[in-house]
Amino acid sequence: MDRDTSGLVVFARSRAAAEHLTQQFRKHTVERTYVALTRGVPASKRIDSVFVDDRGDGRRGSATGAAAGGKRAVTHVRVTDALGTHALVECRLETGRTHQVRIHLGENGTPLCGEKVYDRPLNGQPAADDTGAKRPMLHAARLGFVHPVSGTALSWEVPPPADFEALLTELRQKAT
């Protein structure tokens, strides 16, 4: 998880548990749902691309054409609240690549509020951000997996922190 992303994370307490959890992540059976505040209102859709370390402008991101050494990244985006020129979105990860949500939303033309790295198209200018967000507004809201020892399906959900909620409230007020 990114340093500035809030929310749920899992830690293994043994090597065997770590290996079991790693296999679940590799098989894409771990449920990971993020909520985000975006600049612009993205389309609710499935974003499927291939990530490379340098998309052509020194930034990690999606490659065009056949990308040697690239890794597939899939994010399911659903707008839960359109807020005028912003939105509250839910992003369900099918894969788990570094900065996946940030990259997909930024390349889609709807970067996160507070995003300063993946806030522009390839070789383009940064998108304007009038929100004053001090970090990318991304929160790991739901996490679910099978317990590595008991085999029990577990799931957690946690609400966003105060800075996220305050900005959401402000954006809702501006949109009305």
- 58: tokens are 């020194």
Q: For this structure, is 130 an active site residue? A: no
Residues 2, 4, 81, 129: which is the catalytic one?
A: 2
CA distance 122 to 171: 28
Under a CB-based contact definition with an 8 Å cutoff, are residues 25 and 32 in contact? no
* Cβ neighbours for 138, distance < 8 A, ≥ 6 positions apart: 2, 4, 5, 6, 34, 35, 36, 101, 102, 112
Residue 174 CB neighbours (<10 A): 13
Q: Is 27 helix (H, G, I), strand (E, B) or coil?
A: coil
Which residues are the active-site residues?
2
